[in-house]
Chains A and B, each alone.
Chain A
Amino acid sequence: MFWRNNILAVLLLCCTWCLATSEEFHEALTFRPLQDGRLATRFTFTTLLRGAYPRDPSTLQEEDESQHYAIFPLALGQVLREYAVTELHLTLNAGKWDYDHWGYPDEPGVGTGAELWAWMGESAARSVDERWKGLRNALSGQFCASLGSLDEQRTTSPELTFRPEGSLPQWGTTHQLRHGTLPSEHVCTENLTPFLKLLPCKSLTGIASLLNPHRLFDADWHGLGVHVRYLENEGIEVRLSFQSVFDPVRYSNGRRDWSLRSVFDRVIDRSCPIAHSSEIRVAIPKEETAVAITPDSYTTHAGFVYFNVSNASKPLDISMSWPDEQKFEYATVSSAVPLTHVSVRRTLKGSSQSRGRLSVSITNHMPITIQTSYLESMPWLLQFYLHSLQIYSNGVSRDDLISIVSYIPSVPHVRPTLFQAILTLPPKSTLHLSMDVIKPFLRYTEHPPDAQRGWDLPPAVLVPLLHSNSSTLDPGLSNPPSGFEQLRLPRRMYTPVLLVDLATPDFSMPYNVIIMSCTLIALIFGMVFNLLTRKFTLIRVSPEPK
């Protein structure tokens, strides 16, 4: 009966199949002038592979079906299929994101160094850990970053904080998260070049032609990100992003006017013909000072100015200037409005190399109670004394404000500590959390070449959640922080990395130590042996009395 109305159905199926595996490429560039005269930029290159499906990990033992990509980056696609990865996020950042002055970043992954996390389905054929290792090594080769050293001593599974950003397909097996950070990883042109190779237009045409490494890596903060996720009913989306924070006041003599030429030292000469949409957005600052934007061919919508790069006249150079301002005036501290809901500061106190005190202070700027999840994935270099955890809010000890969700203690040389807790922040107050930590004494071969510098500790991650009791917000609140309307979505916040100073042995002395210790032990042993094994005899000393 099904085959009766089959001809049209088959034709339709063919048409939809042709369209189903179509690929779309969108590129966008967003500019956001910040309150302290800086400029936050964000490049986004999104490739959507329609109708595609991540590889089912239960098929890992068989040959994979052949994939055909036209725009979708082949190298990345091959890695994803080889290890049956459902969702992947890789960020390589340098600098410290200043939440207090810059607000929330557009891409939440701003932890310093390299951060890689992936959701993978379980499989009996190849374990998640095995595929995680293969994935790390493949990506480290792809991006010229030393991601291969994210071994089990740096890998954790913090499922409370790193929720999947796409959807996880229903295969009947559970998905597992693997997360690793390398805070001491440096980012440079070596990492940008393979990143650009993943783009269909490379860096020749379109918005990607603005990616000038000389200017990008001179920025106050820069980070590149690769995000792969599966969207149900749509397909697999690869989003390559490059965020940076420039300082136009530093380039010019005191003015915060900027243009594509002054920021990137390049203009857009040709638009990328493959791009489905290619646009530049500029956020209009909310202050009263007049702003001039050239060229005039833009549309305005919801506080943003949109330029369509494909239609605009080339060469395209966008500029923004403040004509009434002679010199940029930095805001004084008292007039600075908090740009985020919470502010975090994390320090390691103590001057001894045997122990210290980890101290975190979280300030809640909102007039309502906020709950945040707090994640510490500390390498085994620093071991926590959980019984010494103290919480103070406004000088009063409040143990009810923390609830520890999970704590996996570290095992030296094997695995890091995972500490996840939910903190309740009372309105308009500061919470002080502190805990004793002990610093171990490492073996000779475990120290890095520059041992006296110390070790970088990964950032702690906070996810502010809305407290369930308060859903209405005070409308009379003057100067609400930007991103206020996104209060209902959890956005990860990263603290800066810490540097811990560990005791070092004398590296010039292995032979000396061995011979001195062995000499002492051998001497004592030899003398004890002598005493115990010889027989006593009497000797006549004075002559026989005659």
Chain B
Amino acid sequence: MDFGLVYPALVAGRLLLAFAPLPDALKHDHQLSSPLTSYPRLQEGVYLFQHGIDPYSGGLFRHSPLLLSLFSTALPLNKFTSACLWTACDAISAWALVKIWRARQRVSQSSRDSLIAAIYLLNPYLLLPTLALSTSTIENMLFLLSLMFASQGQSSPSLLALALLVQLSLPSAIFIVPMILLLLSDPVSRLASPREFNTYLSSILAKLGLWWYFFTEMFDHFRPFFLMVFSAHLLIYVLPVCLKFQHDILYATYILAGVYATFKPYPTLSDPGLFISLISLFPETYQYLRYPIVTTLLHLHSALLLPLFHHLWLSQGTGNANFFYASTLVFGVSNGAALLDAIWAGLRIAVGNLPEGYELIQK
């Protein structure tokens, strides 16, 4: 189908959905937004700032000062503007994804464009957080913009988008190395500007990832050690993946997006959503995926169980924290399975076609 028809139709549909009267519970759902990306917290921070109270003096507002300055000066934060802005972010992200595909294939137009845009805009893992007005939409947009500019070889816009992204969310610092490698430019100084360390996990309200329950049940004596371990664990994937996939840095970025989704401190559904949407850029790997059905079913399983057990535990009171914890473990397994399959497929395709009668193994 023609990209020029499909894309505006999808964006218009998104816009309509954003203005529909949706339940307010989406904004407060803990799967769709974390304490770092939640919309009511953003509203609270802007409100306090406009009334002369320092929003960072309390523990409630953890967003970046960039967002605070944007929404208190340039753009007011009400229902109309936020619906338009969040839909625009998603539209730009989908368009950037299409541009990345075109840059990779070295064409200016292709038949898969509309499919890629549809995969991004219709992905429920990305659709629901946008409707919940989680700022992870903005983070995804900045990531995809940075990737797009990097694929096109434009270093300044790419690094600007990357700098903004790292400002917004510190664990995105793992993308610095692959992005720089992608630009194939001269060594540029690290642009990471740490504002505050989200890795101290001062608020364990995030419930989706592997961190929260672990650190809830941890005794205080061991807490600093394990915080260090988990943070370092996220960083150790960067160099090996970039080295192994130096022939295809875009694929390395894709793998690191998977690592980011699985192991970051305050994950929401939009992080695996980004990873899954990026898979559309690499259709050549599909034939080498070893267990796509299992991964899909695991994702379906956990996506259905997560809101159910969350509701049972917190709203209805008939469930236990363990139910929800088990479903987050399944979610972790499904992310891990997708990551492993993607790594294997990426490695396998680099080898190429095999001659007759030969098998490929790893030793």
Q: Is B20 part of the contact surface with A, judged by Cβ < 8 Å? A: no
Q: Are A506 and B241 in contact (CB under 8 A)?
A: no
For window 175-210 of B, CB contacts with A under 8 Å fall at 202-205, 207, 210
Q: Are B322 and A506 in contact (CB under 8 A)?
A: yes
For window 530-546 of A, CB contacts with B under 8 Å fall at 530-542
Q: Could you tell me the distance in whole angstroms from the C-beta of A501 to the nearest C-beta in chain B? A: 9
Q: Is A440 part of the contact surface with B, judged by Cβ < 8 Å? A: yes
Chain A residue numbers with a CB within 8 Å of B204 are: 440-441, 443
Q: Are A409 and B217 in contact (CB under 8 A)?
A: no
For window 3-30 of A, CB contacts with B under 8 Å fall at none
Chain A residue numbers with a CB within 8 Å of B339 are: 524, 528
Q: Are B322 and A353 in contact (CB under 8 A)?
A: no
Q: Is B57 part of the contact surface with A, judged by Cβ < 8 Å? A: yes
Residues 507-546 of A, flagged 1 when their CB comes within 8 A of B and 0 if not, give 0011001101110110111011011111111111110000
Chain B residue numbers with a CB within 8 Å of A536 are: 347, 351, 360-362
Q: Are A524 and B340 in contact (CB under 8 A)?
A: yes
Q: Could you tell me the distance in whole angstroms from the C-beta of B62 to the nearest C-beta in chain A? A: 11
Q: Is A412 part of the contact surface with B, judged by Cβ < 8 Å? A: yes
Q: Are B241 and A532 in contact (CB under 8 A)?
A: yes
Chain B residue numbers with a CB within 8 Å of A387 are: 40, 43-44, 46-48
A367 CA / B88 CA spacing, docked (Å): 54
Q: Could you tell me the distance in whole angstroms from the C-beta of B183 to the nearest C-beta in chain A? A: 23
Q: Are A539 and B358 in contact (CB under 8 A)?
A: yes
Contacts known (A506-B322, A510-B217, A542-B357); A353 close to B314, Cβ less than 8 A: yes
Q: Which of B98-106, B298-306, B328-336 contacts A (4 or more CB under 8 A)?
A: B328-336
Q: Is A313 part of the contact surface with B, judged by Cβ < 8 Å? A: no
Q: Is B74 part of the contact surface with A, judged by Cβ < 8 Å? A: no
Chain B residue numbers with a CB within 8 Å of A441 are: 204-205, 207, 212, 216
Q: Which residue of A lies closest to B46 (CB)?
A: A387
Q: Which residue of A lies closest to B344 (CB)?
A: A531
Q: Which of A212-220, A282-290, A378-386, A488-496 contacts B (4 or more CB under 8 A)?
A: A378-386
Q: Are B57 and A539 in contact (CB under 8 A)?
A: no
Residues 341-363 of B, flagged 1 when their CB comes within 8 A of A and 0 if not, give 00110010001001011111111
Chain B residue numbers with a CB within 8 Å of A541 are: 357-359
Q: Which of B59, B314, B347 contacts A411 (CB 8 A)?
A: B59
Q: Which residue of A lies closest to B243 (CB)?
A: A532
Q: Is B53 part of the contact surface with A, judged by Cβ < 8 Å? A: yes
Residues 383-427 of A, flagged 1 when their CB comes within 8 A of B and 0 if not, give 101111000000000000000100111111110010000000000
Q: Which of A438, A521, A523, A537 contacts B363 (CB 8 A)?
A: A537
| B contact residues, range | 35 or more
A225 CA / B277 CA spacing, docked (Å): 66
Q: Is B84 part of the contact surface with A, judged by Cβ < 8 Å? A: no
Q: Is A277 part of the contact surface with B, judged by Cβ < 8 Å? A: no
A524 CA / B233 CA spacing, docked (Å): 12
A525 CA / B343 CA spacing, docked (Å): 12
Q: Is A444 part of the contact surface with B, judged by Cβ < 8 Å? A: yes
Residues 36-72 of B, flagged 1 when their CB comes within 8 A of A and 0 if not, give 0000100110111001010101111000000000000
Q: Interface residue count for A (Cβ, 8 Å)?
A: 60
Q: Could you tell me the distance in whole angstroms from the C-beta of B126 to the nearest C-beta in chain A? A: 23
Q: Are B360 and A386 in contact (CB under 8 A)?
A: no
Q: Are B43 and A443 in contact (CB under 8 A)?
A: no
Q: Is A436 part of the contact surface with B, judged by Cβ < 8 Å? A: yes
Q: Which of B59, B218, B262, B315 contacts A524 (CB 8 A)?
A: B262
A530 CA / B343 CA spacing, docked (Å): 11
Chain B residue numbers with a CB within 8 Å of A438 are: 205
Residues 357-380 of A, flagged 1 when their CB comes within 8 A of B and 0 if not, give 000000000000000000000001
Q: Which of B219, B237, B320, B325 contacts A510 (CB 8 A)?
A: B219
For window 142-173 of B, CB contacts with A under 8 Å fall at none
A516 CA / B322 CA spacing, docked (Å): 12
Q: Are A535 and B363 in contact (CB under 8 A)?
A: yes
Q: Which residue of B lies closest to A507 (CB)?
A: B217
Contacts known (A383-B59, A524-B262); A532 close to B240, Cβ less than 8 A: yes
Q: Which of A351, A385, A410, A534 contacts B59 (CB 8 A)?
A: A410
Q: Are B48 and A386 in contact (CB under 8 A)?
A: yes
Q: Are A514 and B43 in contact (CB under 8 A)?
A: no
Q: Are A540 and B357 in contact (CB under 8 A)?
A: yes
Q: Is A504 part of the contact surface with B, judged by Cβ < 8 Å? A: yes
Q: Are B343 and A528 in contact (CB under 8 A)?
A: yes
Q: Is B317 part of the contact surface with A, judged by Cβ < 8 Å? A: yes
Q: Which of B315, B321, B340, B358 contacts A527 (CB 8 A)?
A: B340
Chain A residue numbers with a CB within 8 Å of B3 are: none
Q: Are B314 and A354 in contact (CB under 8 A)?
A: yes
Q: Could you tell me the distance in whole angstroms from the C-beta of B99 to the nearest C-beta in chain A? A: 29
Q: Are A410 and B58 in contact (CB under 8 A)?
A: yes
Q: Are A514 and B214 in contact (CB under 8 A)?
A: yes
Chain A residue numbers with a CB within 8 Å of B14 are: none
A-B contact pairs, 9 of them (CB 8 A): A351-B317, A354-B314, A385-B40, A412-B203, A524-B340, A534-B363, A535-B363, A536-B360, A538-B360
Closest 7 A/B residue pairs (Cβ): A409-B58, A387-B47, A534-B362, A542-B357, A524-B336, A510-B217, A517-B214
Q: A505-B213, A528-B340 provided; 8 other pairs, C-beta below 8 A?
A: A352-B314, A354-B30, A387-B48, A505-B321, A510-B219, A524-B336, A531-B343, A541-B359
Q: Which residues of B contact A (CB under 8 A)?
A: 28, 30, 40, 43-44, 46-48, 51, 53, 55, 57-60, 202-205, 207, 210, 212-220, 233, 237, 240-241, 244, 262-263, 313-315, 317, 320-322, 325, 329, 332-333, 336, 339-340, 343-344, 347, 351, 354, 356-363
